Amino acid sequence: MEIENVEQNINKNKSLPKRFVFVALCLLGLSFVINIFIKSPNRDQDILIHISKGETLSTITNELFEKKIINSPALIERMVGFINTDKGTDVGDYLFTKDIPSYKVAYMLARSYHNVKPTKITFPEGATNLEMANVLGSKIANFDKELFLSKTSGMQGKLLPDTYFFWQLSTSEEVINSLSTAYTKKIAPLLPKTYLKYSENEILSMAAIVQKEALGKVDAGNIAGILFRRLEKGMLLQVDAAPITYKVKGLPTVPIANPGVVAVQASVNPVSSPYLFYLHDKDGTIHYAKTFEEHKLNIKKYLK
Protein backbone atom coordinates (compact mmCIF):
# COMPACT_ATOMS: atom_id res chain seq x y z
CA MET A 1 0.00 0.00 0.00
CA GLU A 2 2.77 2.38 0.86
CA ILE A 3 4.58 1.50 -2.37
CA GLU A 4 1.48 2.45 -4.41
CA ASN A 5 1.24 5.86 -2.70
CA VAL A 6 4.88 6.56 -3.43
CA GLU A 7 4.41 5.72 -7.09
CA GLN A 8 1.33 8.00 -7.28
CA ASN A 9 3.27 10.89 -5.76
CA ILE A 10 6.11 10.37 -8.22
CA ASN A 11 3.73 10.39 -11.19
CA LYS A 12 1.96 13.46 -9.79
CA ASN A 13 5.23 15.34 -9.47
CA LYS A 14 6.24 14.36 -13.00
CA SER A 15 3.07 16.04 -14.39
CA LEU A 16 3.80 19.40 -12.73
CA PRO A 17 6.38 20.60 -15.30
CA LYS A 18 3.97 19.78 -18.13
CA ARG A 19 1.30 21.93 -16.51
CA PHE A 20 3.72 24.78 -16.10
CA VAL A 21 4.70 24.52 -19.77
CA PHE A 22 1.03 24.53 -20.82
CA VAL A 23 0.26 27.58 -18.68
CA ALA A 24 3.36 29.35 -19.97
CA LEU A 25 2.34 28.67 -23.57
CA CYS A 26 -1.17 29.96 -22.92
CA LEU A 27 0.20 33.15 -21.40
CA LEU A 28 2.58 33.56 -24.31
CA GLY A 29 -0.27 33.09 -26.76
CA LEU A 30 -2.43 35.57 -24.87
CA SER A 31 0.41 38.07 -24.90
CA PHE A 32 0.78 37.58 -28.65
CA VAL A 33 -2.94 38.14 -29.22
CA ILE A 34 -2.93 41.25 -27.04
CA ASN A 35 0.12 42.71 -28.77
CA ILE A 36 -0.94 41.89 -32.32
CA PHE A 37 -4.71 42.11 -32.24
CA ILE A 38 -5.48 44.51 -29.43
CA LYS A 39 -2.55 46.59 -28.19
CA SER A 40 -1.55 49.57 -30.29
CA PRO A 41 2.06 50.31 -31.16
CA ASN A 42 3.82 52.96 -29.13
CA ARG A 43 2.25 56.26 -30.36
CA ASP A 44 1.42 59.47 -28.57
CA GLN A 45 -0.92 61.15 -31.05
CA ASP A 46 -3.74 60.56 -33.51
CA ILE A 47 -2.65 60.10 -37.12
CA LEU A 48 -4.49 61.13 -40.29
CA ILE A 49 -3.54 59.36 -43.50
CA HIS A 50 -4.84 59.70 -47.05
CA ILE A 51 -5.57 56.76 -49.33
CA SER A 52 -5.43 57.60 -53.03
CA LYS A 53 -7.04 55.87 -55.97
CA GLY A 54 -5.16 52.78 -57.08
CA GLU A 55 -3.29 52.17 -53.82
CA THR A 56 -3.03 48.48 -53.00
CA LEU A 57 -3.85 47.06 -49.59
CA SER A 58 -0.22 46.10 -49.24
CA THR A 59 0.90 49.70 -49.82
CA ILE A 60 -1.65 50.93 -47.30
CA THR A 61 -0.69 48.48 -44.55
CA ASN A 62 3.01 49.16 -45.05
CA GLU A 63 2.35 52.88 -44.53
CA LEU A 64 0.35 52.08 -41.40
CA PHE A 65 3.23 49.96 -40.12
CA GLU A 66 5.81 52.69 -40.83
CA LYS A 67 3.67 55.21 -38.95
CA LYS A 68 3.32 52.81 -36.01
CA ILE A 69 -0.42 52.40 -36.39
CA ILE A 70 -0.22 48.59 -36.66
CA ASN A 71 2.24 45.86 -35.67
CA SER A 72 1.87 43.47 -38.59
CA PRO A 73 0.95 44.42 -42.19
CA ALA A 74 0.45 40.77 -43.19
CA LEU A 75 -1.93 40.11 -40.33
CA ILE A 76 -4.02 43.24 -41.06
CA GLU A 77 -4.27 42.24 -44.72
CA ARG A 78 -5.60 38.81 -43.73
CA MET A 79 -8.05 40.36 -41.29
CA VAL A 80 -9.31 42.81 -43.93
CA GLY A 81 -9.82 39.95 -46.36
CA PHE A 82 -11.68 37.95 -43.72
CA ILE A 83 -14.01 40.84 -42.86
CA ASN A 84 -14.83 41.75 -46.45
CA THR A 85 -13.26 40.17 -49.52
CA ASP A 86 -15.45 41.90 -52.10
CA LYS A 87 -14.91 45.59 -51.36
CA GLY A 88 -11.75 47.63 -51.67
CA THR A 89 -10.85 50.52 -49.38
CA ASP A 90 -12.38 53.80 -50.52
CA VAL A 91 -10.28 56.82 -51.39
CA GLY A 92 -10.05 59.50 -48.71
CA ASP A 93 -8.73 60.46 -45.30
CA TYR A 94 -8.69 58.00 -42.38
CA LEU A 95 -8.19 59.09 -38.79
CA PHE A 96 -6.48 56.53 -36.56
CA THR A 97 -6.55 57.42 -32.88
CA LYS A 98 -3.44 56.81 -30.79
CA ASP A 99 -5.03 53.96 -28.84
CA ILE A 100 -6.84 52.15 -31.66
CA PRO A 101 -6.41 48.34 -31.59
CA SER A 102 -5.32 46.48 -34.71
CA TYR A 103 -8.61 44.70 -35.24
CA LYS A 104 -10.38 48.06 -35.45
CA VAL A 105 -7.83 49.26 -38.01
CA ALA A 106 -8.68 46.21 -40.10
CA TYR A 107 -12.40 46.94 -39.74
CA MET A 108 -11.90 50.57 -40.85
CA LEU A 109 -10.06 49.49 -43.98
CA ALA A 110 -12.44 46.67 -44.81
CA ARG A 111 -15.59 48.75 -44.42
CA SER A 112 -14.11 52.11 -45.50
CA TYR A 113 -14.90 53.70 -42.15
CA HIS A 114 -13.00 57.00 -42.28
CA ASN A 115 -13.53 58.14 -38.68
CA VAL A 116 -13.52 61.71 -40.04
CA LYS A 117 -15.88 63.67 -42.31
CA PRO A 118 -14.97 65.33 -45.63
CA THR A 119 -15.22 69.09 -46.06
CA LYS A 120 -18.15 70.55 -48.01
CA ILE A 121 -16.97 73.08 -50.59
CA THR A 122 -19.21 75.10 -52.91
CA PHE A 123 -17.82 76.98 -55.91
CA PRO A 124 -20.12 79.78 -57.15
CA GLU A 125 -21.09 79.63 -60.81
CA GLY A 126 -18.84 81.90 -62.82
CA ALA A 127 -15.84 81.36 -60.57
CA THR A 128 -12.44 81.61 -62.23
CA ASN A 129 -9.72 79.04 -61.66
CA LEU A 130 -7.98 81.50 -59.35
CA GLU A 131 -11.15 82.03 -57.33
CA MET A 132 -11.57 78.25 -57.07
CA ALA A 133 -7.99 77.94 -55.84
CA ASN A 134 -8.65 80.59 -53.18
CA VAL A 135 -11.80 78.79 -52.00
CA LEU A 136 -9.87 75.52 -51.76
CA GLY A 137 -7.06 77.23 -49.88
CA SER A 138 -9.51 78.64 -47.35
CA LYS A 139 -11.18 75.28 -46.74
CA ILE A 140 -8.35 72.75 -47.00
CA ALA A 141 -5.31 73.24 -44.80
CA ASN A 142 -2.01 73.34 -46.69
CA PHE A 143 -3.73 73.07 -50.10
CA ASP A 144 -1.21 73.85 -52.85
CA LYS A 145 -2.97 76.63 -54.78
CA GLU A 146 -0.05 77.23 -57.12
CA LEU A 147 0.06 73.57 -58.12
CA PHE A 148 -3.69 73.61 -58.71
CA LEU A 149 -3.42 76.69 -60.95
CA SER A 150 -0.51 75.18 -62.83
CA LYS A 151 -2.33 71.93 -63.50
CA THR A 152 -5.57 73.69 -64.54
CA SER A 153 -3.84 76.04 -66.97
CA GLY A 154 -5.94 75.99 -70.14
CA MET A 155 -8.87 74.30 -68.38
CA GLN A 156 -10.87 77.38 -67.42
CA GLY A 157 -14.44 76.87 -68.59
CA LYS A 158 -14.19 73.11 -68.14
CA LEU A 159 -14.21 72.96 -64.34
CA LEU A 160 -17.82 72.79 -63.25
CA PRO A 161 -18.75 75.08 -60.32
CA ASP A 162 -20.88 73.01 -57.94
CA THR A 163 -20.90 71.61 -54.41
CA TYR A 164 -18.28 68.99 -53.66
CA PHE A 165 -16.92 67.08 -50.69
CA PHE A 166 -13.15 66.95 -50.36
CA TRP A 167 -10.82 65.56 -47.71
CA GLN A 168 -8.29 67.66 -45.84
CA LEU A 169 -5.50 65.69 -47.50
CA SER A 170 -7.07 65.61 -50.97
CA THR A 171 -4.47 66.24 -53.66
CA SER A 172 -4.71 68.81 -56.46
CA GLU A 173 -5.05 65.94 -58.92
CA GLU A 174 -8.03 64.50 -57.04
CA VAL A 175 -9.77 67.88 -56.83
CA ILE A 176 -9.21 68.59 -60.52
CA ASN A 177 -10.45 65.14 -61.44
CA SER A 178 -13.69 65.75 -59.52
CA LEU A 179 -14.25 69.13 -61.20
CA SER A 180 -13.49 67.92 -64.71
CA THR A 181 -15.49 64.70 -64.26
CA ALA A 182 -18.51 66.77 -63.23
CA TYR A 183 -18.03 68.87 -66.37
CA THR A 184 -17.93 65.73 -68.51
CA LYS A 185 -21.12 64.38 -66.94
CA LYS A 186 -23.21 67.57 -66.74
CA ILE A 187 -21.89 70.00 -69.37
CA ALA A 188 -20.40 67.95 -72.22
CA PRO A 189 -23.75 66.27 -73.05
CA LEU A 190 -25.32 69.73 -73.50
CA LEU A 191 -22.83 70.84 -76.13
CA PRO A 192 -24.49 70.94 -79.51
CA LYS A 193 -24.53 68.91 -82.63
CA THR A 194 -27.17 71.20 -84.09
CA TYR A 195 -25.46 74.52 -83.38
CA LEU A 196 -22.28 73.73 -85.25
CA LYS A 197 -21.23 77.21 -86.42
CA TYR A 198 -19.52 77.71 -83.03
CA SER A 199 -16.88 75.51 -81.45
CA GLU A 200 -16.98 74.10 -77.94
CA ASN A 201 -14.51 76.75 -76.79
CA GLU A 202 -16.62 79.54 -78.32
CA ILE A 203 -19.80 78.30 -76.69
CA LEU A 204 -18.03 78.03 -73.33
CA SER A 205 -16.63 81.54 -73.84
CA MET A 206 -20.14 82.81 -74.51
CA ALA A 207 -21.53 80.87 -71.56
CA ALA A 208 -18.93 82.40 -69.25
CA ILE A 209 -20.00 85.89 -70.36
CA VAL A 210 -23.69 85.04 -70.03
CA GLN A 211 -22.95 83.70 -66.54
CA LYS A 212 -21.60 87.10 -65.55
CA GLU A 213 -24.16 89.21 -67.43
CA ALA A 214 -27.40 87.38 -66.68
CA LEU A 215 -29.34 87.05 -63.44
CA GLY A 216 -30.31 83.42 -63.94
CA LYS A 217 -32.80 81.50 -66.05
CA VAL A 218 -35.05 84.51 -66.51
CA ASP A 219 -32.76 86.41 -68.84
CA ALA A 220 -29.86 84.08 -69.71
CA GLY A 221 -31.39 82.82 -72.97
CA ASN A 222 -32.32 86.34 -74.12
CA ILE A 223 -28.87 87.74 -73.37
CA ALA A 224 -27.19 84.84 -75.17
CA GLY A 225 -29.42 85.49 -78.19
CA ILE A 226 -28.58 89.19 -78.20
CA LEU A 227 -24.83 88.60 -77.95
CA PHE A 228 -24.82 85.98 -80.68
CA ARG A 229 -26.81 88.40 -82.85
CA ARG A 230 -24.16 91.06 -82.28
CA LEU A 231 -21.49 88.59 -83.36
CA GLU A 232 -23.35 87.72 -86.54
CA LYS A 233 -23.73 91.42 -87.39
CA GLY A 234 -19.99 91.99 -86.88
CA MET A 235 -20.57 94.28 -83.90
CA LEU A 236 -18.40 94.53 -80.83
CA LEU A 237 -19.88 92.55 -77.96
CA GLN A 238 -19.17 95.36 -75.50
CA VAL A 239 -19.92 93.52 -72.27
CA ASP A 240 -18.65 94.69 -68.90
CA ALA A 241 -17.81 91.12 -67.88
CA ALA A 242 -15.06 91.03 -70.51
CA PRO A 243 -13.55 94.51 -71.10
CA ILE A 244 -11.54 93.26 -74.07
CA THR A 245 -14.84 93.00 -75.99
CA TYR A 246 -15.03 96.80 -76.10
CA LYS A 247 -11.88 96.85 -78.22
CA VAL A 248 -11.73 93.55 -80.07
CA LYS A 249 -14.48 91.96 -82.15
CA GLY A 250 -15.58 88.46 -81.41
CA LEU A 251 -15.49 86.32 -78.30
CA PRO A 252 -12.55 86.17 -75.89
CA THR A 253 -10.06 83.53 -77.02
CA VAL A 254 -10.60 81.56 -73.79
CA PRO A 255 -13.52 81.49 -71.33
CA ILE A 256 -13.27 84.26 -68.74
CA ALA A 257 -14.67 81.95 -66.04
CA ASN A 258 -16.25 78.56 -65.39
CA PRO A 259 -19.94 78.73 -66.33
CA GLY A 260 -22.73 76.73 -64.74
CA VAL A 261 -25.31 74.52 -66.41
CA VAL A 262 -27.93 77.27 -66.96
CA ALA A 263 -25.48 79.58 -68.75
CA VAL A 264 -24.29 76.75 -70.99
CA GLN A 265 -27.84 75.73 -71.83
CA ALA A 266 -28.66 79.35 -72.68
CA SER A 267 -25.62 79.59 -74.94
CA VAL A 268 -26.49 76.35 -76.71
CA ASN A 269 -30.14 77.38 -77.16
CA PRO A 270 -30.15 81.21 -77.35
CA VAL A 271 -33.49 82.97 -77.58
CA SER A 272 -34.02 84.74 -80.89
CA SER A 273 -35.27 88.33 -80.60
CA PRO A 274 -35.11 91.67 -82.46
CA TYR A 275 -33.05 93.22 -79.65
CA LEU A 276 -29.40 94.24 -79.71
CA PHE A 277 -29.06 95.94 -76.32
CA TYR A 278 -30.03 95.28 -72.72
CA LEU A 279 -29.47 96.57 -69.21
CA HIS A 280 -30.53 95.72 -65.67
CA ASP A 281 -32.03 98.42 -63.51
CA LYS A 282 -31.29 98.85 -59.81
CA ASP A 283 -33.87 96.22 -58.92
CA GLY A 284 -32.39 93.66 -61.32
CA THR A 285 -35.16 93.93 -63.92
CA ILE A 286 -33.88 93.66 -67.48
CA HIS A 287 -34.80 96.16 -70.18
CA TYR A 288 -34.20 95.53 -73.89
CA ALA A 289 -33.69 97.86 -76.83
CA LYS A 290 -33.64 97.35 -80.60
CA THR A 291 -31.42 100.34 -81.35
CA PHE A 292 -28.64 102.20 -79.59
CA GLU A 293 -30.89 105.27 -79.35
CA GLU A 294 -33.50 103.25 -77.47
CA HIS A 295 -30.73 101.84 -75.29
CA LYS A 296 -29.56 105.34 -74.36
CA LEU A 297 -33.10 106.25 -73.38
CA ASN A 298 -33.23 103.14 -71.14
CA ILE A 299 -29.95 104.16 -69.53
CA LYS A 300 -31.34 107.63 -68.82
CA LYS A 301 -34.62 106.23 -67.56
CA TYR A 302 -33.45 103.31 -65.43
CA LEU A 303 -29.88 104.04 -64.37
CA LYS A 304 -29.82 107.79 -63.72
Q: What is the CATH number of the domain that holds 128?
A: 3.30.1490
24 located within any domain: no
Q: Who wins on pLDDT, 12 or 148?
A: 148
Cβ neighbours of residue 196 under 8 Å, at least 6 residues apart? none
Q: Looking at the predicted structure, is the pLDDT value of residue 6 above 50?
A: no
Q: Are residues 196 and 260 in the same domain?
A: yes
| pLDDT level of residue 5 (50, 70, 90 thresholds) | low
What pLDDT does 216 receive?
84
253-279 average pLDDT score: 96
Cα 174 to chain centroid, rounded: 6
17 located within any domain: no
What percent of the chain is predicted at pLDDT more than 70? 84
Helix (H) or strand (E) holding 79: helix 73-83
Q: Looking at the predicted structure, is the pLDDT value of residue 44 above 50?
A: yes
Q: Are residues 175 and 207 in the same domain?
A: no
Tally of domains in the chain: 3
- What whole-number distance in Å separates Cα of residue 230 and Cα of residue 215? 20
User: pLDDT for 270-294, tens place per residue?
Assistant: 999 999 999 999 999 999 999 999 9
Q: Are residues 216 and 148 in the same domain?
A: no
Determine the residue type at 47: I
| pLDDT level of residue 304 (50, 70, 90 thresholds) | confident
Q: Are residues 95 and 128 in the same domain?
A: no
What pLDDT does 281 receive?
94
85-94, 103-112, 200-209: the lowest-pLDDT one: 85-94
What pLDDT does 18 receive?
54
Q: Are residues 91 and 123 in the same domain?
A: no
**How big, in percent rounded to 5, are the helix, strand and coil portions of the chain?**
50, 10, 40
CA dihedral 28, 33, 34, 39 (to 10 degrees): 140
281 located within any domain: no
94 located within any domain: yes
What pLDDT does 60 receive?
96
What pLDDT does 40 receive?
63
Q: Looking at the predicted structure, is the pLDDT value of residue 238 above 80?
A: yes
What pLDDT does 24 receive?
41
- Give the count of beta carbons closer than 10 Å to the beta carbon of residue 240: 10
User: pLDDT for 53-103, tens place per residue?
Assistant: 999 999 999 999 999 999 899 999 999 988 876 677 899 999 999 989 988
Q: Are residues 102 and 125 in the same domain?
A: no
State which of 186, 208, 235 marks the end of a domain.
186
Q: Are residues 80 and 107 in the same domain?
A: yes
pTM for the whole thing? 0.83
- Give buried/exposed letters for 111-136 (b at 16+ CB in 10 A, else e): eeebebeebebebebbbbbeebbebb
202 located within any domain: yes
Q: Under a CB-based contact definition with an 8 Å cutoff, are residues 273 and 228 in contact?
A: no
**φ/ψ of residue 233, rounded to 5:** -90, 0
Q: Are residues 267 and 196 in the same domain?
A: yes
Domain, as residue range, for 229: 192-273
11 located within any domain: no
Average pLDDT, the chain: 88
State which of 66, 95, 111 marks the end of a domain.
111
Cβ neighbours of residue 94 under 8 Å, at least 6 residues apart? 48, 49, 50, 51, 108, 109, 114, 115, 116
Q: Are residues 152 and 197 in the same domain?
A: no
State which of 111, 127, 157 marks the end of a domain.
111
Q: Are residues 100 and 54 in the same domain?
A: yes
Q: Are residues 156 and 217 in the same domain?
A: no
Cβ neighbours of residue 128 under 8 Å, at least 6 residues apart? 156, 256, 257, 258
224 located within any domain: yes
User: pLDDT for 9-37, tens place per residue?
Assistant: 545 555 545 554 444 444 444 445 545 55
User: pLDDT for 218-231, tens place per residue?
Assistant: 899 999 999 999 99
What pLDDT does 197 receive?
82
21 located within any domain: no
